[in-house]
Amino acid sequence: MLLTVLGCSGSVPGPDAPTSGYLLEADGFQLGVELGNGTFAALQAIRDPFAMDALLFSHLHADHCADFTALTVYRRYHPAPTRDPREHRLPVYAPKEAPARFANAYATDEADRAAADLSDVFDFRALSPGKLHIGPFEVVAAPAAHPCESFSFRISHGGRSLVYTGDTGVCAALAELAHGAEVILAEASWTHGSVDVPDLHLSGLEAGQVASAAGTSHLMLTHIAPWTDPAAVLAEARSAYDGEVTVVERGAQYRL
């Protein structure tokens, strides 16, 4: 599996730093995971957006899905698409409210609602806890501890597994999902104790604890807020976990 980081800024974009967005590739299949602020521009810089085979969303906060409107415009109005978007509607796996939420984001007002039925170019598929297959990937979705309907994912291919935490506090579902995974891509929005809000985000320390308990071989830290020091988050994670730790970078590619 090849993981490309389109953006990794937490909660809001930073200077030249898009929010959450990733591209996971295997066997010629391109799976987008999240499409937050600024990530659609990053995607266009490296891939033909029409070549993306499916899109997966952990939840519907703007920093994970704001660029879906831009993708809609691109798929509807590009004068020379390399793949007919109406013949090949893009499968979108997302929380059940996604069709209505994305339509509201696209529409300018009530008069524009007719144009906001996005099913002409997208095939929406509601997520629920459990196993599904997306192209060559086996995906297990588990409920995350976050204020809205949210999921963490275990994505497997070729005998290896990547766990993407999405946005979540510490919870039993994440611990079970992560057990034995080779790689964990964990949000680590802040340093431990700097913000006291339960069931919202992981600290660097908590991400390290999750990785240690799971027995993973590589912890990748992402979703670090622009006002948070990545070095401090990294130090926290290393204090709780003895394996390899990486703070991911925008534009970087990682062979998993």
Domain edges within the chain? 2-255
Long-range Cβ contacts of 35-38 (<8 Å, 24+ apart): 35/6, 35/64, 35/65, 35/66, 35/67, 35/68, 35/71, 36/7, 36/62, 36/63, 36/64, 36/65, 36/66, 36/67, 37/7, 37/12, 37/13, 37/62, 37/63, 37/66, 37/67, 38/7, 38/13, 38/67
Backbone angles phi, psi at 191, to 5 degrees: -85, 155
C-alpha span between 226 and 9 (Å, rounded)? 7
Size of the chain in residues: 256
Query: What is the structure's pLDDT at 113?
Result: 65
Query: What is the structure's pLDDT at 111?
Result: 65
Could you give the 3-state DSSP secondary structure of residue 99? Answer: helix
Query: What is the structure's pLDDT at 25?
Result: 98
C-alpha span between 121 and 99 (Å, rounded)? 12
Query: What is the structure's pLDDT at 51?
Result: 98
CATH superfamily of 2-255: Ribonuclease Z/Hydroxyacylglutathione hydrolase-like (3.60.15.10)
> Whole-model pTM?
0.97
**Sign (positive or negative) of CA dihedral 10, 12, 14, 20:** positive
Q: What is the pLDDT of residues 75-93, one digit of tens each?
A: 999 999 999 999 999 999 9
Query: What is the structure's pLDDT at 114?
Result: 65
Query: What is the structure's pLDDT at 198?
Result: 86
Q: Is 93 exposed, middle or buried (0-12, 13-18, 19+ CB in 10 A)?
A: buried
Q: Which residues contact 119 (CB under 8 A, 6 or more apart)?
A: 89, 99
Pick out the chain residues at pLDDT < 50.
Answer: none
Using an 8 Å Cβ cutoff, are 4 and 26 in contact? no
